[in-house]
Each structure stands twice: as C-alpha cells, then as structure tokens.
Amino acid sequence: MKKLIFGLVYCGMVIVFGSCAALRAMCEFVKHPLTFFHQKKRDVQPEILQDPSYGTHKYVTANGIKFHYVANGTEGKPLMLFLHGYPEFWFSWRYQLLEFCRDYYAVAVDLRGYGDTERPPNQKDYHLDKLTQDIAELIPALGYSSCVLVAHDWGGGIAWKVIDSHPELVDHLVMMNSPHHKIFAKAFSKWGQLMKSWYIFVFQLPYLPEIMMSARDYKMLERVFLSKPMGLINKEGFSKEVMETFKYTFSKPGACTAALNYYRMVFKTRARTAHRSNDKIEKPILLIWGDDDGAFLLEMADQHNLVATNLIVKHIPKCSHWVQQDRPDLVNQYMREFLQDDVS
C-alpha cells in the first residue's frame, strides 16, 4: 500500500510540476522565439579556469571512471577532498582551494559526469551507490587512506553516504547546505519542502529539463546563481567571467544530461537507502548552513543531532544555498576553527 501511495504521489507531482515547467518554457519561447535555442559557441576554455593559483589540473582513474580534479598544495600533506553540487563543478571550491592549500593537499574533483570527468551514458550509472563507490575508491587512488571530506548540495548527499558506509575514510566531515538523507526524508513529507523541491520532479521528465537548462544560451544557470530564491545574495564575487565558466562547462556534449541523471536516479535510490543502521555518526562534523537557502527548509539544519554525536552547526544569515561561493570569508573561518587541532 505504501508503494502504491508513493507511486501515485510521485506521478501526480511529476505531472503537475512538469506541466507548469512546460508551460513556462513555452511562454519563454513565445517571448524569445529567435534566441530560445541560441547557444554561443564555446570551443576555448575560459582563461580563469587556467589560472595556476587555483592548482594543477590532473586525472586519476577510480571505480572505472577517469576523474578530472584540481589539486593545490603539497602532496603528502593531509588530504582535503571537495565534492561539489548541482549545477556546479570543481571551480565552485576556488576560494577554499586558495585558503587551505597551505596546510592540506586540497583536491576539488569533478564528480562523475561533470566537467572534464568521464560521462557514462546510462541513467543507472548515476545511482547513489556508484557515486559513493567513486569516492571510496578515489581517496586511495589519490594515495591516501582517509581525508577531510568537504561537500555541498549533491556532493553532500554522496558524502553522507560515504561517512555512513565507509567511516574509516573520513577524519572530519564539513557539510554545506546538504541534509542527511534521514533528515531530508522526514522533511520531504512536508508541503513546504515539496514546493522547494519542485525541480526534482521536473527533472524526472525526458528532454524537457535539458531544453530548459540550455535555452537562451543557458539562461537558467544565471537564474539559479544570480536570482532569488536560490541565487547569490552577495553578487560581487560572481562576475560575468565566473558565470561564463559554468556555461562553458555545461555546454559540453552530454553534460546537462549527466548532471540531471543524478536526479533521475534519486527515487530509484530511495528503496535501497531505506534500510540503514540506526547508529549515529561519531566522526567530527561541521555543518555550515546558508539560512536563505531556496532548496531546503531552514529547520533541517538544527535536526542533525538526531544522526550525529559530534556535531557543530554554523548558520550564516542572509546567505544563499551557494554558501561557499556566497560567503567564502565566513565559510573558511568556520572551517579553520573546526580543523584547528587537525593542523596544529
């Protein structure tokens, strides 16, 4: 009966939100018929992505995937591994790569299907179990037995699973605006969170999300990062040059579909993640939360004592979902304070 009810609710949400999204796309086309399908040709990598101060571009194979990453700092120092969210890539961690390279071997990876990492063609290749195994194999592939794991958004969903299933790989966890799956599952039954999660249901549809994402030369990326409710409140650090890096990355063949496949597998992941240990996470965790997040209910941030015993929560008022790019000063400060014994 529960499966039937869930199936009906799921189908209803996809139909309702999908119809609204389709109608909006049609209106956008009517308003901008000549530019709706226009996409700027982007054959040359933006210069800012080649800035050596962010680190060195490298590749490594893990779990059968060739991963691209940017490493800053001295290899052999403790590993700090950064996992980005949607729709992002390694560059989302530019401020942290510059800040922590003195004390750590700071590595920002393009997750499976993103950036210059390989893009498997099938939806099933983006199941959470495979995404988790990617990181479980990536850490030793980089030459380490454990790390400080830093994650945001979808990267956080993967990181929670990593620390749940492979706690020996994580010395400290720094999480940013990404709730533990148990906390999110409870919130997902509330109308407020369902409305914030409308896009997840739209992303279940074929073709339409890709069209929406790329329309008018990836105008959706500008809306996601630069307008409320998801957008940056502090826009000074998000210049046109920075915006162009995201458009360049997602204009690559198959990039939009690969990123969307994370969401298209999320409800298929649900059944497998339901049966987990009830033991709380004992590793030290810092949860940083931008309080003006358009994707998640604020109340979720302070509920994580239900899943962790050694937890610090830091709120950043008037800060968006994109917390590490929006307020890098405070994010880096809170990380420093949390990790001070680790580098002393």
Cα dihedral: 244, 153, 202, 40 (round 10): 10
CATH number at residue 75: 3.40.50.1820
Active site residue 263: yes
Write down the catalytic residue from 68, 84, 127, 321.
321
Domains identified in the chain, total number? 1
Write down the catalytic residue from 103, 110, 116, 153.
153
Whole-structure pTM over 0.85, yes or no?
yes
Q: What is the pLDDT of residue 234?
A: 84
Domain range holding 240?
2-343
Sign for the CA dihedral angle at 71, 74, 75, 77 comes to: negative
Longest dimension (CA), the chain: 60
- Per-residue model confidence as pLDDT tens for the chain (344 residues): 767 777 888 899 999 999 999 999 999 999 999 999 999 999 999 999 999 999 999 999 999 999 999 999 999 999 999 999 999 999 999 999 999 999 999 999 999 999 999 999 999 999 999 999 999 999 999 999 999 999 999 999 999 999 999 999 999 999 999 999 999 999 998 999 999 999 999 999 999 999 999 999 999 999 999 988 788 888 888 999 999 999 999 999 999 999 999 999 998 865 444 434 568 999 999 999 999 999 999 999 999 999 999 999 999 999 999 999 999 999 999 999 999 977 65
Q: N- to C-terminal Cα distance for the chain?
A: 55
Active site residue 59: no
290 close to 327: Cβ distance less than 8 angstroms: yes
Write down the catalytic residue from 54, 218, 262, 263.
263
Active site residue 321: yes
* Gap between the Cα atoms of 296 and 248, Å rounded: 27
Contacts of 234 (CB under 8 A, 6+ apart): 319, 326, 327
The strand pair at 65-72 and 105-109 is best described as antiparallel
- Nearest alpha-carbon partner for 151 in 180, 188, 120: 180
**Amino acid identity at 186:** K
* Gap between the Cα atoms of 93 and 82, Å rounded: 7
